[in-house]
Amino acid sequence: MPRSNRPRRRPDPPRSERAASDAREDLDDFNPERVLAGFARLESAPDGEWRVRQVTTRNAAKVYTCPGCSRAIPPGTAHLVVWADDNLFGEEAGIAERRHWHTHCWRTRTFRYR
C-alpha cells in the first residue's frame, strides 16, 4: 500500500492548555499606553484644575465636536476628554460637563479672562 505524503494532523490541545496559551498571548500584547488610557491625570492651568484622560484610536467610536476649534473629531481619532476638577457643584457635575478636545487644541488653548 502506498504511503501518503500529507502530514499527519496534530490533535487539538486540551481546553485547559488553550486557555493558558490565550492568557500568555494577552500578556504578550501588554501595552502601557492602553492601561494608562483609562486614568485621568490632573493638570493645573491659569483657568483652574483639570482632569485629562487620553482616548485611544481603538476607543474613539463616536463623533464629537472639539470646543477649541469647533470641528468634528471623527471616530478612530485619538483625542482627550477634559473636565473641571474644581467644579463648584462637585465632582459629578464636573464629569457631566466633560468635553472632548483635539490634543493639539487642548495644548494650544488660550486662557481668556472676562
Task: Give the Cα separation of 90 and 92 in Å (integer).
Answer: 6
Consecutive H or E run containing 93: helix 91-96
- pTM given for the model: 0.63
Q: Could you list the mean pLDDT of each consecutive 10-residue stretch along the chain, which spans 114 residues?
A: 67 58 50 60 88 91 93 95 85 85 92 57
What domains can you pick out in the chain, each with its CATH number?
Answer: 39-114 (3.30.1740)
- pLDDT for res 27: 47
Using alpha carbons, list the distances in angstroms from residue 44 to 30, 49, 66, 95, 105.
30, 5, 20, 17, 16
Q: Note the pLDDT of residue 20.
A: 53
Whole-number pLDDT of residue 95: 82
pLDDT of residue 89: 82
